[in-house]
Structures are given as C-alpha cells and as structure tokens.
C-alpha cells in the first residue's frame, strides 16, 4: 500500500489535499499528516512515505527546510516532494525545483491539477525503471 505524507500547518488544508487526492484516484492509500517540517521529519523517521505533499510557509520548519533535510538524508532523498503554495513566484519555483521538488502547485489545488502532476510522476518513475 502506498503512503502519502501531507504537511501543512492548517488542518483544513491537509483535509482538502487528502480529499483532492482521493477524488484523483488515490483512495486506497495510507495517509500520514504533519503540521510542519519538523513533525514531517519525525513522522518519516517512524515510517517512510512514497510521496510528500507539503506547504511552503509553515512555522518551526518551512517546506524549503524540509526538502533540504530530506535531500541530505540517504533514507529520504528519493521520496518525491510536491509543494503547494499560495505565493506564485517563478524564481522561488525554479529554486525549489533545483533543490529536488517534483512540482509546485498553486493554491487552491484541484483534483484534476493534482492528478495531472501525479500522472507525470508515475510516467517519470516508469521511464527510469
């Protein structure tokens, strides 16, 4: 079974992302959640995830801090990360992509937009294997 970790300081946003994933066809998935990057890392130490979807702006540790930690850890560096943000900034998006983010989605997200990104990730991983 796949595991998806949703990281956002808003419980409502986490529920919305999960619902979008379920509508996009990811109903038979184990969902984990965290309220910030530090909680996400603690969760990933307990159990791994196949995908992380994270907000950028969070207290204690933001999304950029989270991806930096993940990409520096041999056990976490290959987990794909998708960011969700309310700030649309091309330079920041390019920077996050250079850090290893697979996609940056603007809020509000929608099931079709999320499904399209997840399909491209699936196609990418199939091309690699």
Q: pLDDT tens, 13-60?
A: 999 999 999 999 898 999 999 999 999 999 999 999 999 999 999 999
Rounded to the nearest 10°, the torsion over CA 72, 115, 112, 120 is: 80
Burial of 113 (0-12, 13-18, 19+ CB in 10 A): middle
Task: Quote the pTM value.
Answer: 0.91
Residue 39: the pLDDT is 97
Phi, psi of 86 (to 5 degrees): -95, -10
Q: pLDDT tens, 67-117?
A: 999 999 999 999 999 999 887 788 888 989 999 999 999 888 889 989 899
What 3-state DSSP class applies to 92? helix
DSSP state of 29: S
Beta bridge partners of 31: 4
Degrees, nearest 5: CA angle 76-119-86 = 70
Query: In CATH, what number is assigned to the domain containing residue 92?
Result: 3.40.50.2300
Range of the domain at 30: 3-128
Q: Are 62 and 83 in contact (CB under 8 A)?
A: no
Relative to beta strand 103-106, strand 3-7 is unpaired
Total structural domains within the chain: 1
């Amino acid at each position: 079974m796949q595991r998806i970790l949703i990281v956002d300081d808003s419980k409502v946003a986490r529920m919305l992302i999960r619902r979008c994933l379920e509508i996009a066809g990811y109903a038979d998935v184990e969902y984990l959640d965290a309220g910030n990057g530090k909680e996400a890392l603690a969760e990933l130490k307990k159990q791994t995830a196949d995908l992380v979807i994270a907000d950028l702006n969070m207290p204690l540790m933001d999304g950029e801090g989270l991806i930096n930690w993940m990409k520096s850890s041999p056990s976490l560096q290959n987990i794909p990360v998708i960011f969700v943000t309310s700030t649309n900034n091309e330079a920041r998006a390019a920077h996050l992509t250079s850090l290893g983010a697979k996609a940056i989605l603007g809020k509000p997200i929608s099931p079709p937009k999320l499904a399209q990104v997840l399909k491209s990730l699936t196609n990418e991983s199939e091309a690699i294997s």
